[in-house]
Amino acid sequence: MNTSGPIYLDYAATTPVDARVAEAMIECLRPHGAHGNPSSLNHAYGRRARALVEKARAQVAAAINARPEGIVWTSGATESNNLALLGVARFHDQGGRHIVSSRTEHKAVIDPLKQLEREGFAVTWLKPGPDGIIQPEQVAEALRADTRLVSLMHVNNEIGVIQDIAAIGALCRERGIVLHVDAAQSAGKLKLDVEAMQADLLSLTAHKVYGPKGIGALYVRRKPPLGLQPLMHGGGQEMGLRSGTLATHQIVGMGLAFELAESERKTDVDRIAALCERLWQGIEAVGGIELNGHPQRRVANLLNVCFHGVEGESLQFALRELAVSAGSACATASESASYVLRALGRSDQLAQSSLRFSLGRFTTEREIDAAITAVKREVARLRALAPPS
């Protein structure tokens, strides 16, 4: 990717918009574009916009093996998570007030669940193993007679580990418990199949798969009906679950982004995996570093690495030619050390000395080699400056 700024290795935070996606969105915004309100079906302008919205709905549905009517447009995965968790819990508050989740979920899951705790719901917070994996047996042991909902992310946004959602889905389906999956980080990297996963609710966002920010979707199982209380009220759009005028250009962008992500997934993943392995081999040679999370059960584009003897914030500041992060982009302002890494048993010092490198569609071999050179140089320099322990 040709830019005049630092080498971009923060794809887990957000991806650049693919040029093909941007062009499709721009077409909607041109004077001759689909400027009608998709809900105004009494004239051609509205019907044209509605047709584009429904085409995009079908594109997203196809990427996760769902029916189009199961896709509800939202502003992103955060809203999708809130709608799923608060919507199910409040709708069924008389039918069971126990929820199971984990300590390593995204804040967009943790904070709504904490709100539900304030409303009188009980949440069991599962602790992963040192590799970041939640075992299906842990979920089974946590289930109670009054468990209504299980919420577990497919791919962790900080360490990239993959949970066995299909096994957990089978447990939940057998007991009639609703399963919500945050799949924001797995789209475009893993095959998503809501039927095979037995997921009842699945949160998605466009800006992790080379689409625009500000648009996402929630998959909602339709048969048998789930029961979901809306968070927003107004015109009754999206089958009454999410009122508000639909943003045609953003929806078009998300639809195409998901179609491209699925059609090009294998090619992208194979190429990115090779680059990620090259990066790991290069920086591992520095010595005194560890990979955070399971070494194999992980997505191909993400490395979370702790550097012994180096303060992470200093390293991140020193690596000004690289755009990397110390953890989730949604938590960096409030967390001194990653709660995800602390849940894995990392000390505060090691958690604070960790960096997340995430690669993507536009990452090049030359950028990876430059990143390796920079990391080697700055780690050696900072360790030489550190006082003897």
Q: What is the pLDDT of residues 76-87, one digit of tens each?
A: 999 999 999 999
Range(s) within the chain of domains with CATH label 3.40.640.10: 19-263
- Fold classification of 19-263 (topology level): Aspartate Aminotransferase; domain 2 (3.40.640)
Architecture of domain 7-16+265-385: Alpha-Beta Complex (3.90)
pTM above 0.85, yes or no: yes
Model confidence over 17-57: pLDDT tens digits? Answer: 999 999 999 999 998 989 999 999 999 999 999 999 999 99
d(CA 300, CA 159): 11
What pLDDT band is residue 311 in, cutting at 50, 70 and 90? confident
Model confidence over 94-140: pLDDT tens digits? Answer: 878 999 999 999 999 999 999 999 999 999 999 999 999 999 999 99
Collapsing DSSP to helix, strand or coil, 202 comes out as: strand
d(CA 113, CA 123): 7
Model confidence over 180-203: pLDDT tens digits? Answer: 999 999 999 999 999 999 999 999
Nearest by Cα to 161 from 325, 303, 289, 323: 303
2 pLDDT exceeds 90?
Answer: no
d(CA 70, CA 49): 20
What pLDDT band is residue 314 in, cutting at 50, 70 and 90? confident
Mean pLDDT for the stretch of residues 294-317: 92
Pairing between β-strand 216-220 and β-strand 122-126 as defined by DSSP bridges: unpaired
Residue 217 pairs with which residues in a beta bridge? Answer: 73, 204
DSSP symbol at 242:
S
Report angle CA 51, 52, 56 to the nearest 5 degrees: 115
d(CA 230, CA 133): 32
Pairing between β-strand 98-102 and β-strand 147-153 as defined by DSSP bridges: parallel
Q: Which of 28, 172, 306, 330 is catalytic?
A: 330
What pLDDT band is residue 333 in, cutting at 50, 70 and 90? very low
321 pLDDT exceeds 90?
Answer: yes
Residue 172 appears among annotated catalytic residues: no
What pLDDT band is residue 3 in, cutting at 50, 70 and 90? low
Q: How confident is the model at residue 63, as a pLDDT?
A: 98
Range(s) within the chain of domains with CATH label 3.90.1150.10: 7-16+265-385
